[in-house]
Structure 1
Amino acid sequence: MNEKVNLVDLSIIVIYLVGILAIGVLSTRLKRMTSEGYFLAGRGLSWPVVGAALFASNISTIHLVGLAASGYNEGFVWGNFEWLASVSLIMLGLIFAPFYFRSKISTLPEFLEKRYDSRSRTVLAFIAIIGALFVHIGMSLYAGAVVFETFFGISVVTSILVISTVTSIYTVLGGLKAVVVTETVQSAVLILGAILLTGFGLYALSDAGINSITELKANLKPGQLDMLQTNESIKALGGDTGLTWYACFLGYPILGLWYWCSDQTIVQRVLGAKTQKDAQTGAIFAGFLKILPVFILVFPGVIGYVLFKDVIGTNSNMALPVMINQLLPTGLKGLMAATLMAALMSTIAAALNSSATLVAVDIVKRFNPRISDRKQIRIGRYSAVAVMILAMAWSTQGDKFTSIFEAINKIASAIAPPVAVVFLFGVFSKRGTRQAAFVTLIVGLLLGIAAFCFDFEPISGYMYITKGLQIPFMMQAWWLFVFCTLIYFTVSYATPKPDSKVVKKYTWEHPLAFIKGKITELSDVRIFVIVLIISLITLYVLFS
């Protein structure tokens, strides 16, 4: 493809970059910056901003490209990553956010120190920084750069340098306030661009004589619009991902507990909420937004299969670039480029700010409690720059992976289980001890890394777990979670009970305590949860 970028489209791209840079820098220019203001936006975020920022920091170029490619290959089954994320966001809003907000923590590792001890805090900080570096920034940079090279002719190196520089400037200077303000804008741009592409795709289907769901299904692989699959139906689609209905419902909650409920890059927006209600409602609002990607990110790939399978062929990663070049006129291509930049920059900004927070708060301030706000912010900024440089170097290795979207979820499957265990049972088990948390994090992380390496062909030469043992990555996450749970409770019952005061402060009184109490007003977050759950059940019935 490699078409030279049109002057009009290039102008739109440049205007967007300059505009988002100005918004990010000016959002905090007139205020004196404190450490709380820099890392947590002064704890003044309203629920719409929290929800939009959660959504934008999650949706990266990997999602835009990878979900379209997955829709082209196997269809809606990959949409489970989006709709089941809504369930994880319900858990964040109802189960975890009350503890996070009331304890006034600045980082998720700090919560582990309050519930367990400083050793668990250190291990989680390390896991979070590695996740930000290798998953949130590195792979997102590579995916975005390749797309821009593919259909705009902009080299990978140029894309990485320009986008990294612009994002770093407003993130490093403005902190979380700049990040969430720009993420709110980018959420709107991202959704608008994806809707426009989907609309042009539907219009093209009509021109091709396809005017109903029945006619669309007749031109698709059997089951390409079904969310829930079996091994047999997935193989009929030509896939081997192992995303069966039970793998999704068992494996994804483990990934979701780590990613949506305990990963600093994501949850930092909740920590910066103005009130507990804003924190909870913002999470549920993001859960509603996560319904959209199936229809505006996965579905375009399905449309691409019908319209352009002769052009795209077996290279499914070309689904999105082909649709953009074939369907969008000049000007809208530039808007779509802005959409891709919005997805890319919001993810990178979120990860950079969380990395700065983890280093400054969980490492530096722990060893030097009397450090001034100015020095703490300066160290956070230096850390963000260092992480960005390392991520830029790592992003050049992106071509070693066959599927980037699947790769990031395989990495998540390796690191999520021990974190999910210590957080979930930390708030639900009165018996969980500090020794149990530390041992579970260490052993679970080592087991996850070993499983990933044995299953990663460039390292092991063969996928020994996925192909050898016939255990796909989602089920690997489940079985690692089960094993980590056994470690957690074995060590817990072999060590002294935790302090009763800590248990009372950081665990629920009983498993259903988070939903107790009468609903006295329509704005009660539990009403929104009920509506969201009914919406998800209805959608699963319609698309299964």
Structure 2
Amino acid sequence: MENTVVVDNEAFSLHYLDWLAIAVFILSLFLIGIITGKKERDTAQDYFLAGRKLPWYVVGSSFVAANISSEHLIGMIGSTFIFGICTAFFSWANIAAYSFLIWLFIPFLIASKSFTIPEFLEKRFNLFVRQFFAIVTLITNLFAFLAAVLYGGTIAFQEIFNTPFWPTVIIMAVFAGSLAIWGGLSSSSWSSLPTIIVLIVGGFIVTMLGLSSLAGEVGGSGIVDGFKVMVERNLATAGEWKLAAEAAAEHMPQQYNRMSVMLPVNHPLVPWINWFFIIFSVSIWYNALNQFMVQRVLGAKNSYHARMGVVLAGFLQAILPVIIVLPGLILFAMKPDIMLQPWADVKPEADQGFIYLVKTLVPAGLCGLVLAALFGAIQSTVNAVVNSTSTVLTMDIYKRMFHKKATDKQMVKFGIISSIVILVLSVLIAGFIESLKTSLFVYIQQFFAFFAPPFAAIFLLGILWRRINGKGASIAVSIGFIVAVILKTWELKADLPGYLTFYLPGDMPIWLVPFYNQAALVWVFSLIVCIVVSYMTVPPSADQVTDRLVINWKKINIFNDLGGRWYKSVVFWWLALTLLVVSLILAFSL
């Protein structure tokens, strides 16, 4: 028994075992989500923070599952096809931010007993910073996370099942977001445990089959021979791969090296300078300030479980390039002709790379597992974003601004209603993204680079330095955003009306064109403004700089809850993780 759907006018057959795998996986997710979320509506803490009782393995798996979604399986593979292995940077650079989270931020996030990051920012700074960050969180969650994930998943399933855009995105939103509405963070987090397992297994299947196929093309066998072929073809020194690289090089600045993670300072995606600056300008915001990521940390049993969860997430991030980067390199080795099309057509077709590899390589019976992995990736991120966005709306907007005496039942009810509204809005925004016809991964990264730097700067300073005050933070984020707008306007000057750009000089220097370089400049500027203004104004009050909110350099109050013996030790496993990632970076930068 087979059901056949159409992909790019070619038959894409799903065996009954594929349908069985998809059905079992989805039913398992819903069963786990329903059971774990059944009694989580009694209090706001239960619904929004899983009663603060998540163990480390759930914290870690859900931390990564919330992060990995369609923009990785679709957008990141597509970007790897175009730019090369440098996209592994987005996984490996996270480890530095994870280290900051483990050693510097978790002790204070847990000790503060905050429901949300905006709430923590009010305790440390003031109400203005809290509300500003809450609004930015809502914007980024809707546009850069939820809508983008739904869009990426929709175009993937459109290609597989040949369905119209709007019905596909609506059905996906309903199925993917329902668990977050039902059981809050508990349902979202526990259902991520099987999701990350299936995601890794499914991704490995695609990669291993791709490498084996490459080996077969040259008369070899196995993944080792396939890996050698992949590397050789991506070095692009001969044949059609050289022609493809030369075609791409016309749109790249300076050196175009597909097999290095260290690239020129004006590289459009990952200039080498960002191995330092992206950690501070974007990664700290994404991993330590981003509500939909940090919410599972805030829901951990204690500081130890939060830290060990992030260590586990680090190991998962270290191996993720095997399933979200290598497939892009495999695709280039198989289909270099994609790069020879008009440049405007390359990115959309590259974003279909994952589906092409699945339909070309994966046999009947295993397709279902791989497609289940794609759905699980979408579902886990949608659940995480819906839950975190409703938490911010409830705690930082509804309760803080409109109903300060709201009961737990009223807050949970508002959270459920707001989750439904969030899903509806995200579906509409996904349609807007479809009209842009741009690279999904680049679209998302540009959002991060625009909104993150000012808040990353004040958060780091606020944890490290007691003299930093609310006025310094408020002015820094305000002026920081103004600088970000000016830089983005300068970059787009040629395409904007003259009255919007009359105050700007000529063309932007080429080294400043990459959006991450702009983010680095905004971060440094915000840092300086925050320090200067803080020292020009009165010191913060005593309750804003307690040991629960700021590091005490006399006590170094960050070394509690590190575990006992080596196999439980946060220190041991963090050192092992650091050694692994440094070795990987060096291997692909020499």
Q: TM-score, normalised by structure 2?
A: 0.85
1:59 shift after superposition: 0.4
Q: Secondary structure at the match of 2:235?
A: coil
The whole-number CA distance in structure 2 between the counterparts of 1:27 and 1:516 is 32
Say which of 354, 357, 362 aligns to 1:328: 362
Larger mean CA deviation between 171-180 and 117-126 belongs to 117-126
The whole-number CA distance in structure 1 between the counterparts of 2:228 and 2:369 is 32
The whole-number CA distance in structure 1 between the counterparts of 2:505 and 2:366 is 44
Is 1:481 the equivalent of 2:523?
yes
Does structure 2 conserve the Cα–Cα contact (< 8 Å) formed by 1:353 and 1:384? yes
Larger mean CA deviation between 357-366 and 103-112 belongs to 357-366
Matches within 5 A, 1:9-158: 9-10=18-19, 12-30=21-39, 33-158=42-167
The whole-number CA distance in structure 1 between the counterparts of 2:450 and 2:427 is 23
Give the partner amino acid of 1:442: S
1:258 shift after superposition: 0.6
1:151 shift after superposition: 3.0
Larger mean CA deviation between 389-398 and 333-342 belongs to 333-342
Q: Secondary structure at the match of 1:290?
A: helix
Say which of 136, 148, 163 aligns to 2:172: 163
Gaps of 5+ in 1: 235-239
Is 1:289 the equivalent of 2:316?
yes
Does structure 1 conserve the Cα–Cα contact (< 8 Å) formed by 2:92 and 2:585? no
The whole-number CA distance in structure 2 between the counterparts of 1:40 and 1:68 is 33
1:311 shift after superposition: 6.1
Matches within 5 A, 1:385-396: 385-396=420-431
Say which of 556, 573, 576 aligns to 1:531: 576
Q: 1:454 to 1:329 in 2, by over 3 A?
A: farther
The whole-number CA distance in structure 2 between the counterparts of 1:149 and 1:187 is 23
Q: 1:246 to 1:61 in 2, by over 3 A?
A: same
Q: 1:181 to 1:79 in 2, by over 3 A?
A: same
Q: Match for residue 371 of structure 2?
A: 337
Q: Match for residue 412 of structure 1?
A: 448
Q: How many residues of Structure 1 are paired with residues of Structure 2 in the alignment? A: 537
Larger mean CA deviation between 511-520 and 394-403 belongs to 511-520
Does structure 1 conserve the Cα–Cα contact (< 8 Å) formed by 2:195 and 2:376? yes
Q: Match for residue 242 of structure 2?
A: none
The whole-number CA distance in structure 2 between the counterparts of 1:511 and 1:533 is 27
Q: 1:465 to 1:182 in 2, by over 3 A?
A: farther
The whole-number CA distance in structure 2 between the counterparts of 1:395 and 1:458 is 27
Is 1:266 the equivalent of 2:293?
yes
Q: Match for residue 239 of structure 2?
A: none
Does structure 1 conserve the Cα–Cα contact (< 8 Å) formed by 2:119 and 2:396? yes
Q: 1:356 to 1:249 in 2, by over 3 A?
A: same
Deviations 1:313-332 (A, max 9, x none): 53322321211111012232
Say which of 239, 244, 263 aligns to 1:229: 263
Does structure 1 conserve the Cα–Cα contact (< 8 Å) formed by 2:386 and 2:423? yes
Is 1:359 the equivalent of 2:393?
yes
Q: 1:276 to 1:306 in 2, by over 3 A?
A: same
Larger mean CA deviation between 179-188 and 307-316 belongs to 307-316
Give the partner amino acid of 1:534: L
1:2 shift after superposition: 4.9
The whole-number CA distance in structure 1 between the counterparts of 2:506 and 2:148 is 22
The whole-number CA distance in structure 2 between the counterparts of 1:93 and 1:114 is 21
Deviations 1:472-522 (A, max 9, x none): 111111000011112111210111011244323221123993666999642
1:282 shift after superposition: 0.8
Deviations 1:126-176 (A, max 9, x none): 111111111110111111111111233133222211111112321111100
Give the partner amino acid of 1:537: V
Does structure 2 conserve the Cα–Cα contact (< 8 Å) formed by 1:220 and 1:306? yes
Is 1:469 the equivalent of 2:515?
no
The whole-number CA distance in structure 1 between the counterparts of 2:148 and 2:497 is 22
1:75 shift after superposition: 1.5
Larger mean CA deviation between 250-259 and 352-361 belongs to 250-259
Is 1:300 the equivalent of 2:327?
yes
Does structure 2 conserve the Cα–Cα contact (< 8 Å) formed by 1:2 and 1:152? no
Give the partner amino acid of 1:284: V
The whole-number CA distance in structure 2 between the counterparts of 1:267 and 1:185 is 20
1:427 shift after superposition: 0.4
Deviations 1:265-296 (A, max 9, x none): 11000000001100111112111110112121
The whole-number CA distance in structure 1 between the counterparts of 2:480 and 2:297 is 27
1:104 shift after superposition: 0.9
The whole-number CA distance in structure 1 between the counterparts of 2:393 and 2:263 is 42
The whole-number CA distance in structure 2 between the counterparts of 1:456 and 1:49 is 43
Gaps of 5+ in 2: 1-7, 237-256, 341-345
Q: Secondary structure at the match of 2:270?
A: coil
Does structure 2 conserve the Cα–Cα contact (< 8 Å) formed by 1:219 and 1:306? yes
Q: Secondary structure at the match of 2:75?
A: helix
Q: Match for residue 217 of structure 1?
A: 231
Q: Secondary structure at the match of 1:245?
A: coil
Q: 1:511 to 1:428 in 2, by over 3 A?
A: farther
The whole-number CA distance in structure 2 between the counterparts of 1:308 and 1:377 is 50
The whole-number CA distance in structure 2 between the counterparts of 1:379 and 1:101 is 25
Does structure 2 conserve the Cα–Cα contact (< 8 Å) formed by 1:431 and 1:497? yes
Larger mean CA deviation between 358-367 and 457-466 belongs to 457-466
Q: Match for residue 553 of structure 2?
A: 510
The whole-number CA distance in structure 2 between the counterparts of 1:312 and 1:340 is 25
Larger mean CA deviation between 104-113 and 203-212 belongs to 203-212
Q: 1:214 to 1:190 in 2, by over 3 A?
A: closer
Q: 1:356 to 1:60 in 2, by over 3 A?
A: same
Q: 1:291 to 1:370 in 2, by over 3 A?
A: same
Q: Secondary structure at the match of 1:220?
A: helix
The whole-number CA distance in structure 2 between the counterparts of 1:511 and 1:66 is 46
Larger mean CA deviation between 35-44 and 22-31 belongs to 22-31
Q: Match for residue 461 of structure 2?
A: 425
1:414 shift after superposition: 0.7
1:197 shift after superposition: 0.4
Q: Match for residue 237 of structure 1?
A: none
Give the partner amino acid of 1:433: N
Q: Secondary structure at the match of 1:396?
A: helix
Deviations 1:8-46 (A, max 9, x none): 345544443343233222322256631111000010001
Give the partner amino acid of 2:474: F
The whole-number CA distance in structure 1 between the counterparts of 2:299 and 2:130 is 20
The whole-number CA distance in structure 2 between the counterparts of 1:84 and 1:49 is 23
Cα root mean square deviation, aligned: 2.6
Give the partner amino acid of 1:382: I
